[in-house]
Copies of this chain bind each other. A is one copy, B any other.
Amino acid sequence: MTSRQEFIEKLRNSSLRPTKQRINICEVLFNRDKTFHFTINDLFNLIKDKTGEKVSLATVYNTVHAFHKKGYLKEITINSNQTYFDTNVTDHHHFFDVKEEKLIDLKNEDVGPIEIQRSIPGKKIKSVEVLVKLED
């Protein structure tokens, strides 16, 4: 399903050579059924756990940023001291469980269309994101 060939394709599309380290990163990022929300540090630790091989933190940062730039990862807007990413790159919104520091995807129909009825001259809308914070 999510094969090594696909990973290599994604890497090449992102102007990255398919190295062993980057394939390992892809393995953790894309070889899964469900959406995956993570911080760089989560990912860094998972790579060690899942592949048994260590990849340097700098490489994780570089690769994730390249994927983000290419649109293979979505950056999630939360006020936290860490940056979150999402393998679900479609336009969608999030719950954020403040206590557990966990992200949950919201389908677009769970929120409904959002009409922004104001514009700023010379600027256009790049994204519209809803973040619903949850408490107990």
Question: Hey, which bits of chain A sit against chain B, CB under 8 A?
Answer: 75-79, 83, 95, 97-98, 104, 106-107, 109-112, 114-118, 120, 122-136
Smallest Cβ distance from A77 to chain B, in angstroms?
A: 4
Contact A117 B109 (CB under 8 A): yes
Task: Determine if B79 and A76 form an interchain contact, defined as CB atoms under 8 angstroms apart.
Answer: yes
| Known contacts A76-B79, A78-B79, A129-B131; A95/B111 CB under 8 A | no
* Residues in B whose Cβ lies below 8 Å from that of A115: 111-112
> How far does the alpha carbon of A67 sit from the alpha carbon of B83 in the complex, in Å?
25
Q: Which residues of B contact A109 (CB under 8 A)?
A: 117
Contact A134:B126 (CB < 8 A) given known A114-B114, A116-B110, A118-B106: yes
A selection of 20 A-B contacts at a CB cut-off of 8 Å is A75-B79, A76-B79, A95-B120, A95-B123, A97-B120, A97-B123, A106-B118, A111-B114, A112-B115, A112-B117, A114-B114, A122-B136, A123-B134, A123-B136, A124-B135, A125-B133, A128-B130, A129-B131, A130-B130, A131-B131
Q: Which 4 A-B pairs have the closest CB atoms?
A: A123-B134, A126-B135, A110-B118, A126-B133
| Given A79-B77, A126-B133, A132-B127, residue A116 in contact with residue B120 (CB < 8 A) | no
Closest to A135 in B: B126
